[in-house]
Every structure is written in C-alpha cells, then in structure tokens.
A = this chain, B = another copy of it.
C-alpha cells in the first residue's frame, strides 16, 4: 500500500532547504542562500538533461572545492547520473585512464585544469560535452571543445526541476584510488550508501558530548572534494543546514584568513595540510579556539596534536579509506577523558578511535578469527556504506571482500576503552615467529636517533624466524660502523622500556645513500623488498 520510500540524495535536501532557506554557502565573493543553492541545483539538472545526460550516464568534475562542486554533488546523482570526482593530482595519463574506465559522458573542468585535458584531448573517447568552470565567465583559447561556460549555461535554465524517484541502490558516485603500484582502482557508492553514511555520521557526531558537528557549526572543508566525497562532510553539512565555506584552491594564508573571517568552527584535513597552515604567521596569530578539526588520511603525529590542543583547537582523528565512503571510526573522547591533561588527551586523539554507529569492526588473525585486546591483527569491517567492489575488477574485488568482510589492509589493536590504534599497513607488518612487529614503529624508534636522516624497515626472509626486520638507513654524517652499534643499542633501550617487542632486537641494518620512493613521494616498500630480499 505504502509507496516505497527509497533513500535518495534528493531526500537529504528537502529538509535543510525548507528549514534553513536563508543560510549561506560561500565561495570567494559568491554568497548563496540555501534557496538560491537549490535553484542552481535545479538549473544544473536542467542543463545536464538538455545535454542528453540520462539515468546511468557519468558526469565528471575537475574543480577546486567550490559551491559549484557542491551543486554537482547533488544535481548529478539526483537526476540518476553518476558523479565521477576526478583526482586532479594524478598524472594526465592516469586521469585519461580513469576517464576511460569510468566512461565519462560529460566533464566539468575548472580553467586551471584545462592544460591536463589539452594534453590528453585526442584520446578521450567517451566524453560528449565539456563544461568550463570559469572564475571570470570567459572561455580561454583552448583545444578542448567547450560546450559552454557553467554560469552562462545555468542562467538559461529554469530554477525548478522535478527530480525522479528510482532504486536506492543506483550508483551515485565513483572515483579512483591509487596504491603505490598498478593503475588506479575505481570504487563506487549508491544513493542508499551515501544517505546512510550521512544519517549515521550526523547521528554519531551530532549527539556527541565532545568532538561534535552540529547545526550551529560553520563548515569549511580542507580536503579536496575529489577525495572520497571530502570525507562525506559536504553531504552532512548540507543535511544539517549549516553555513558552508568553500575555499577554492588551497593557499595556506587564504585558508587561515577564511577560518577567521567566516568564523569557521568545523573542518577536516590531512596532517600535511595542518602542518602547512601552522607554518603561516596568520595561523600563529589567529584565535582558533572555536575550531574543531578532524584529521585523517594519515596518522596524526602526537606532537602535532598536542601543539594544536595547546592552541585551543579541538583536534581529533577520523579513520576511513576510499573503499569505505569513508568514515569508520572517530577519536571522540568521553567526558571522563576530557578531564585528562592535554598530553594524555593527545595520545587518545591521535589514536584511530572507536567505530561509529552501524560499523562492525573486527581485528582478526589470518584465519579471520577475532583476537584479544592489545594484540595487533588485520582490521576488517562491515558497514552499510562500503564499496560493493572495485569497478570492473573481479580479482581485486574478491580479495577486498574475502570472508565476507572488507579488508582494510591495516593492522591495528584495540585498547580496553574500545579505541583502535593502527600500527601498520598489513603488507608492511613483519611476522617474526608468532609475533607481529610493526615496521612503522621500528622506523619511528630508529628515526629518533639524531644521526639518522631517513629510514625504512622491511621484512626479509629468515630461516629461523620466518621473517626478521631489515632497517635501510640513510645516515647524516657518522661512520656506518659506529652508527650501527649505536642504533642496535638505541633499539634495545626501547625494548627494555617495553615500547618495542623483543623481536625488534633481530633488526639488521644496511646503510644507503637514498631510499626508493613512489611517484607521490611515499617510501616504495614493494621495490625495497624486491631489492633487498
């Protein structure tokens, strides 16, 4: 009798538009009300429909964080098309691969990224239209066949659109994740998944006693919107009807200026970005004591966490990955934890945190059996918003979902408070006898010696132990022989203190002039393992 009510992106929008018509969405000098924003979402839907975009077609975006990107977040899936958020930091060849693989029909491109498309233009087979995202309204001379400029196209369209209803399992978004090797892998998310991610993160963060995100906040992303839906927060912020600030191209001084000027209270970023901000005079002088920031994408260093806390910033870790929409855990503190000194809080806030609602996380051994607290194991997960598979890639999809849980590839342990701590990527863990030793932890320890410039630890085959750690060290100046002895002693001290397992003593040291890196600057452990086995 009851017409089914599918969970669609469209259903997230009705409530905030009705309840917060005058709330603002800001980008440079553009200040839109939610009412105006919704009119533009309708205009974009009309523009795309006029271009022939149909249910199941793919619309790609290459832009900075902007209100226009947010309009795409809604309008594209709301007409039943798939939003492909292109990672503009990939190489042109990789971008071409993702455009082909995702079968993009329309590409919206900011003029700053035109040179990328110009470079690969002759080889894009699927795209029928290119829409220019211009800051000036001008279309610059280009070899890319631009159908029209975004604002001009929207201006021609009606400000209403009747959005269709369809199956909630329809694909809404897709994007590509890059490992240290191989071509990018496509992940994708349905309307149902994005709605459930939005509702559950809002419920968990909104109702939290600390590290919350609520209707009085002012939101500004400092994570690119091509990066896992900017961690889902643009959907969450819109659903709550809060004031939103989109910062465009990331310029540290401008970002800090926006934080202050627009009274931003909630953001998220990777540690590197926070480090960049912290270097600016503007940051050092700013009062950021009303600012909450979720750190993800990489481990939050405790020292960085403590420095931010001392500045009055409510900083804490969030954890997830491209395959998981992304949010799985948050390091939200209990009222009791909040009474602890900042140093102790920094330790907790730099942990991976606790699962949010509906997230089923297990730490398992190789037989997928759950293992006790404080013992590291692989972190596997189920939740209603995990990618169903890698797009058109059965083999990797089967490995991802082996045993009915999504394999994060991260190694973690759980403490008695239920806080998770990721210690390593599972492929970088060293299995010594029955014990798992974290290569990252050994690297941390060795790096703390003042004469070490760079270090990478990998596992090498060992007849007796199965594996033992090999430390590849770039020294600053000392002779290798002296340094080797010192480092062995240095490591033993940490073992004595109980910081490192006894198996760490088995470390073997090799000195190098440099360590192999990947194209994005990460230590290339795969190559190192091949070279030093």
Which residues from chain A sit less than 8 Å from chain B, CB to CB? 1-3, 5, 7, 11-12, 14-15, 18-19, 196, 199-200, 202-203, 205-209, 212-216, 239-240, 335, 354-360, 382-384, 386-389, 397-398, 400-401, 404, 406, 418
Q: Pull 22 A–B residue pairs with CB atoms less than 8 Å apart, ordered by A.
A: A1-B398, A1-B400, A2-B387, A2-B388, A2-B406, A3-B401, A5-B383, A5-B384, A7-B384, A12-B357, A15-B357, A15-B359, A18-B355, A19-B354, A196-B199, A199-B199, A199-B203, A199-B357, A202-B203, A203-B203, A206-B207, A208-B215
Q: Which residues of B contact A357 (CB under 8 A)?
A: 12, 15, 199, 239
The CA-CA distance from A155 to B360 in the complex, in Å, is 29
Q: How many copies does the complex hold?
A: 2
The CA-CA distance from A382 to B11 in the complex, in Å, is 11
Q: Which residues of B contact A205 (CB under 8 A)?
A: 207
Q: Which residues of B contact A406 (CB under 8 A)?
A: 2
Most chain-B CB neighbours within 10 Å: which of A3, A239, A357? A357
**Residue of B18, B207, B213, B388 touching A1 (CB-CB under 8 A):** B388
A404 CB, nearest partner CB in chain B, Å? 5
The CA-CA distance from A383 to B389 in the complex, in Å, is 30
The CA-CA distance from A199 to B236 in the complex, in Å, is 13
Please give me the residue from chain B that is nearest to A397 by CB atom. Answer: B1
Please give me the residue from chain B that is nearest to A3 by CB atom. Answer: B404
Q: Which residues of B contact A360 (CB under 8 A)?
A: 11, 14
Given contacts A1-B401, A19-B355, 12 further A-B contacts (CB under 8 A): A3-B404, A7-B384, A11-B360, A12-B358, A18-B354, A18-B418, A199-B357, A206-B208, A206-B214, A207-B213, A208-B215, A209-B215
On whether the beta carbons of B389 and A2 are closer than 8 Å, the reply is yes
Q: Which residues of B contact A14 (CB under 8 A)?
A: 358, 360
Q: Which residues of B contact A388 (CB under 8 A)?
A: 1-2
The CA-CA distance from A520 to B328 in the complex, in Å, is 49
On whether the beta carbons of B203 and A214 are closer than 8 Å, the reply is no
A209 CB, nearest partner CB in chain B, Å? 4
